[in-house]
A and B are shown apart, each in its own frame.
Chain A
Amino acid sequence: MSADDLQRAVWRMAHEIVERNHGLDGVVLIGLQTGGVPLAGTLAEALRAVEAVDVPVGTLDVAFYRDDIGLRPVLPETVTDIPFDLTAKMVVLVDDVLFTGRTIRAALDALTDYGRPRAVQLAVMVDRGHRELPIRPDYVGKNLPTRRDEVVDVKADGVDLGEMVK
């Protein structure tokens, strides 16, 4: 997936978000650390271009909500920044890659500590399969079949699929 493909996918997802929610009333974006944060920013820009609306953008680090604390080193990358109340908002969680779904599970838990959203939707650039929890995305940039041991890297200049480096 090239940088242009990525930008096209962002445009499509932005249109889908507007269409699904009949506008952007009450819509907020929450980017998941770390990969979801730049994507949430790009999506917000696209939404501004489509609807001329500035949607609030927050960032969430789910480290303290993970289910593998104590099993592997878990430390937050950055401080969570959600400077608005989520109560009654339509929260769109944004992440770069959807894999097992465990990060999203943790994020859903974390969100409830910031208020009670009206609903939560999920936008991901790449859905690579191998879900371990009943979680599905609402907006997908690209479905990318992978092996479990491959790594998917979403960057500004495109998406890389590589072998796990051990």
Chain B
Amino acid sequence: MRHLLSVGDLGVDGIDEVLKLTDSFVEVSERAIPKVPALRGKTVVSLFYEDSTRTRLSFETAAKRLSADTMNFTVGSSSVKKGESLRDTVQTIEAMGVDAIVIRHGSAGAPWQVAGWAEAAVVNAGDGWHEHPTQALLDCYTIRQHLGTLAGRRIAIVGDVKHSRVARSDVLAFTALGAEVTLVAPPTLLPPSLEGWPVEVSHDLDEILPKIDVAYLLRMQRERMTEALLPSLREYTACFGLTRRRAALLGADAIVMHPGPMNRGVEIAADVADLPNAVIVDQVRNGVAVRMAVLFLLLGAGNDLGGNERG
């Protein structure tokens, strides 16, 4: 593995390898000293062109627990404001000697561009509405942790699928591991075409809830709502929000997931997020371990030593 750009590049074996390695890093994270010297001397830079708290912190924590050095590049306080191009920024960062670039960008495909220019390993931490592979990996890990396997499990991804890179990566990863995925959303919040997506579509959440093992709620991306897609958020909540009443329709072993940050009271009722079958905090906790696994595979495991262009 040279870069992690799309979760689709990993294939089933690649996803399995990351998840197996994650077990070891979960163990590391639970220790009194949750740190290993595996990536001493490596430098990981986060290059974030979009706001993010949890993903940036999660990657930074992961790198630090591997003993890598971390650098932060936040666009708000950088030379990008002075008009520097993405290519020049990457070149500048690389000249300082970095081994991995974790990039989030508003434009779909930006990480592929960077991977074409950079010697360093590139990790896609979210590009536009396109992909968010480490989120998909941590979601798979969390589902396995609670349900044992994804094979044959029924997963509903509910909400703003159209603007969601999480949904795209999750669909790829969940279906690769054998889960059956149903997208539940109003037609205006679904992508214009679902051709080639191995998913079912429903507009009726009440009908779906009793049949599923996982209710995956997406955040209402109010900052991306440039067009009038919904009459109002209240109406959305009335039709597609996971209210207390709806949560009771779920099977006893079903789990509730959310990539965060949550809009409590919109896609998920305030008290539903704190129910025992909501595993949202586990997702965040597992996120660090999954990202440790990804960074270790890219920078430390030496998989790329033979037959790969990397020396």
Contact = CB atoms under 8 A, between A and B. Distances in A.
Interface of A: 61, 63-65, 69-76, 79-81, 109-110, 113-115
B24 A65 contact: no
B36 A65 contact: yes
A70 B38 CA distance: 9
28 contacts: A63-B24, A63-B38, A64-B24, A64-B28, A64-B36, A64-B38, A64-B66, A64-B296, A65-B36, A65-B37, A69-B38, A69-B39, A70-B299, A70-B300, A70-B302, A73-B301, A73-B303, A75-B21, A75-B301, A76-B21, A79-B23, A79-B24, A79-B26, A113-B32, A113-B35, A113-B36, A114-B31, A114-B32
Nearest to A114: B31
Nearest to B40: A69
Nearest 8 pairs of A and B residues by beta carbon: A64-B36, A64-B38, A113-B33, A73-B302, A76-B24, A79-B23, A69-B300, A79-B27
A74 B300 contact: yes
B32 A69 contact: no
Contacts of A72: 302, 305
B37 to A, nearest CB: 6
Contacts of B38: 63-65, 69
Contacts, number: 55
Interface residues of B, number: 22
A64 B37 contact: yes
Interface of B: 21, 23-24, 26-28, 31-33, 35-39, 66, 296, 299-303, 305
Given A69-B38, A69-B302, A114-B32, A80 B21 contact: no
Contacts of B27: 79-81
A166 to B, nearest CB: 15
B311 to A, nearest CB: 11
A71 B302 contact: yes
Nearest to B28: A64
Nearest to B34: A113
B41 to A, nearest CB: 9
A69 B32 CA distance: 24
A162 to B, nearest CB: 24
Given A63-B24, A64-B38, A72-B302, 11 more contacts: A61-B24, A64-B24, A65-B37, A69-B38, A71-B302, A74-B300, A75-B301, A79-B27, A81-B27, A109-B37, A113-B36
Contacts of A80: 24, 27-28
Contacts of B21: 75-76
B69 to A, nearest CB: 15
Contacts of B299: 70
Contacts of B39: 69
Nearest to B17: A75
Contacts of A114: 31-33
A118 to B, nearest CB: 17
Contacts of B24: 61, 63-64, 76, 79-80
Given A61-B24, A64-B28, A80-B27, A73 B305 contact: yes
B170 to A, nearest CB: 26
B32 A74 contact: no
Contacts of A61: 24
B298 to A, nearest CB: 11
A102 to B, nearest CB: 14
Nearest to B36: A64
A80 B24 CA distance: 7
A63 B222 CA distance: 44
A109 B38 CA distance: 12
A110 B24 CA distance: 13
Contacts of B303: 73
A113 B33 CA distance: 5
A75 B32 CA distance: 22
Residue of B35, B39, B299, B301 contacting most chain A CB atoms (<10 Å): B301
Contacts of B26: 79
A141 B182 CA distance: 60
Nearest to B26: A79
Contacts of B305: 71-73
B269 to A, nearest CB: 37
A115 B300 contact: no
B167 to A, nearest CB: 31
B206 to A, nearest CB: 41
